[in-house]
Amino acid sequence: MSDPSTTAPTRLSVSLEDGELAGWRWRNDGAPPLLFCHATGFCASTYKQMLRRLADRFDIWALDMRGHGRTRLPADPKELRSWNIYARDVAGFLDREKRDGWILAGHSMGAVVVAMAARGRNDICALRLIEPVAPPLVYTLTAAYAPFWPMLARHIPIARRAARRRARWSSREDALKSYERKGLFRDWAPGVLADYLEDGLVIDHAGARLSCDPDWEAATFAASAHDLWRAVRVAPAPIGVFAAGVASTIWPTARWWFRRAGAEMTKIAEAGHLAPMENPALAADFIVQGAPAARN
- Rounded Cα–Cα distance for residues 193 and 200 (Å): 10
Say how far residue 205 (Cα) sits from the centre of its chain. 30
Whether 294 maps to a domain, the answer reads: no
Has residue 44 been placed in a domain?
A: yes
Write a three-state SS string for 112-131.
Answer: HHHHHHCCCCCCEEEEEEEC
Question: Cα–Cα distance between 146 and 244 in angstroms, integer?
Answer: 30
Q: Which residues of the chain have pLDDT under 50?
A: 296
In a domain, 274, yes or no: yes
Q: What is the largest CA-CA distance in the chain?
A: 55
2 falls within a domain: no
At 170, the amino acid letter reads: S
Residue 36: predicted pLDDT: 99
Provide the pLDDT for residue 254.
92
Residue type, 21: L
- What is the per-residue pLDDT for 296? 45
pLDDT attached to residue 77: 96
15: domain range? 10-288
Provide the domain count of the chain.
1
Q: Note the pLDDT of residue 141.
A: 74
Inside any domain, residue 101: yes
CATH number for the domain that contains residue 188: 3.40.50.1820
Query: Is 117 inside a domain boundary?
Result: yes
The verdict on residue 26 lying in a domain is: yes
